[in-house]
Chains A and B, each alone.
Chain A
Amino acid sequence: DQQVKQNSPSLSVQEGRISILNCDYTNSMFDYFLWYKKYPAEGPTFLISISSIKDKNEDGRFTVFLNKSAKHLSLHIVPSQPGDSAVYFCAAGQGGSEKLVFGKGMKLTVNP
């Protein structure tokens, strides 16, 4: 049973436009969420996180929104840049557990 779902495998946007990456989860015990970015032949790198006590967290061009009632979060990238082209993983964790559960990832392509 997949607890963290990224239902769209890919997204293509034009440079300068907004990229919106979506993630759904099923386990209501998750209380923090993270986004990782991965370039080919490299390990994932942490991008941004949000705690369940918040509904929004912003860091420069990146904003994560959390809708707990819908068990949904999204990552907004504004404006999108070609260097943002990568695979993005959504992950969720539960306080007291050392493990994160990852989604399958979504490939973002930003076209110049």
Chain B
Amino acid sequence: DVKVTQSSRYLVKRTGEKVFLECVQDMDHENMFWYRQDPGLGLRLIYFSYDVKMKEKGDIPEGYSVSREKKERFSLILESASTNQTSMYLCASSSHGTGNEKLFFGSGTQLSVL
């Protein structure tokens, strides 16, 4: 089974702090994604990467950056955390394919910014 591991289940940070969320997958997937989930808004894509050192903006990239130095690891960075970034953050991975790409999700990181 695919395993997507997020380094923290819960994080509490202060406004203005730099925050790193780490994600590792063990299935040699090319694609990795960061989503956030908020009540009433569903899952919104922040950034994704389809190869090492490649990244593309999703629907809500403002206030975030990402890093993918190794194929198995995809990091989400909050340069200066703000209270409106309090959310559930979900990492996912998938393999390149011809269709029906299936995402495999980690368990999520609940981030609270105070």
Interface of A with B (CB < 8 Å)? 6, 9, 31-32, 34, 36, 41-46, 49, 51, 89, 91, 93, 95, 98-100, 102-105
0/1 string, B40-78, CB within 8 A of A gives 1: 111111001010000000100000000000000000000
Chain A, residue nearest B101 (CB):
A93
Known: A98-B48, A99-B48. A104 touches B41 (CB 8 A): yes
Which of these, B9, B42, B48, B110, contacts A102 with CB under 8 Å? Answer: B42
Interface residue tally on B, bucketed by range: 20 to 34
Which of these, B48, B50, B90, B98, contacts A43 with CB under 8 Å? Answer: B90
Known: A42-B107, A43-B107. A105 touches B100 (CB 8 A): no
The answer to whether B100 and A32 have CB atoms under 8 Å apart is yes
The smallest beta-carbon distance between A86 and chain B, in angstroms, is 13
Known: A44-B43, A89-B43. A32 touches B99 (CB 8 A): yes
